[in-house]
Amino acid sequence: MLWIILLASCAAFVIQSLAAKLGVVT
């Protein structure tokens, strides 16, 4: 069950960094 939370937080971090990169690019 813990790995699901870890995976979710990792995914959220990746999405956040991707959004930040897109914001910088645009």
Per-residue model confidence as pLDDT tens digits over 4-19:
999 999 999 999 999 9
Question: CA angle, corner 24, sides to 20 and 26, nearest 5?
Answer: 115
Q: What is 1-26 written as a DSSP string?
A: -HHHHHHHHHHHHHHHHHHHHHHHH-
- The pair of structure tokens assigned to 16 is 């956040």
Residue 25: pLDDT over 80? no
pLDDT at 6: 97
Task: Determine the Cα–Cα distance for residues 26 and 4; give it in Å rounded to an integer.
Answer: 32
pLDDT at 1: 85
Task: Determine the Cα–Cα distance for residues 8 and 22; give it in Å rounded to an integer.
Answer: 21
> What's the full length of the chain, in residues?
26
